[in-house]
Amino acid sequence: MNDPKYRHLLTYNQEFMFMEYGLCEIYYKINEHTLYLLKIDQQDHSIKELVIPLNLNLTTIDAILTYFLKELFFKNVFFGEGKLIYEKSEQFSEDYFNSIQKELNDAYRQKIKLIEDAAKNNDLINFCRTIHLHPTPDRIHATNWTAQCLSKGNHHLLLSTVTNEWGCGYCRKKGGLPELKKWYFMQK
């Protein structure tokens, strides 16, 4: 079987805090069992190839695009805070690209809201909120949260809503709610 050639899927820019981070080009090719995505990042000059087993849901160009954007969004710090800017594609329009992006962002916000609602009676999270550490759920593992470290250093506390424990590897401190309260009041 002859090897298919890469075709251009999309060129986009990524914007975060009103800064543009440089173009990324995405190429794709499909053979009988596999979808390949090639990501060429012009900002850090990296090239990544994703190899994805082809399934029935991944046979149209729209499905491939949605798949790629989901992968990117759910593993990317830009998600929810930044946005992707359509530069060019011969496969789909800017409107279509933006509609998928909006759908993913809405789904993300919905998910974060459900996670926050589920933790609304969590004393550890609520205490962090009260003392302005800005606890935020992890976008993949809903029960892992981060918050600003109590030391006011430029790093994070890790929190679990399962064990109700927190830790900071940087400050080498950990514990439950009583230990966090103790640390907080010692600083006062």
6 and 23 in contact (C-beta within 8 Å)? Answer: no
Binding residues for Zn ion, total number by CB under 5 A: 5
Sole window of 24-32, 98-106, 146-154, 159-167 interacting with Zn ion (rule: CB under 5 A): 146-154
Q: How far is the CB of 121 from Zn ion (least distance, A)?
A: 26
Give CB contacts under 8 A, 24+ apart, made by 177-181.
177/123, 177/124, 177/127, 180/124, 180/127, 180/128, 180/150, 181/127
Candidates 151, 177, 179, 184: give the one binding Zn ion (CB under 5 A): 151
Q: How far is the CB of 188 from Zn ion (least distance, A)?
A: 17
6 is an interface residue for Zn ion by CB under 5 A: no
22 and 92 in contact (C-beta within 8 Å)? Answer: no
Sole window of 25-33, 43-51, 58-66, 161-169 interacting with Zn ion (rule: CB under 5 A): 161-169
Q: How far is the CB of 150 from Zn ion (least distance, A)?
A: 7
25 and 8 in contact (C-beta within 8 Å)? Answer: yes
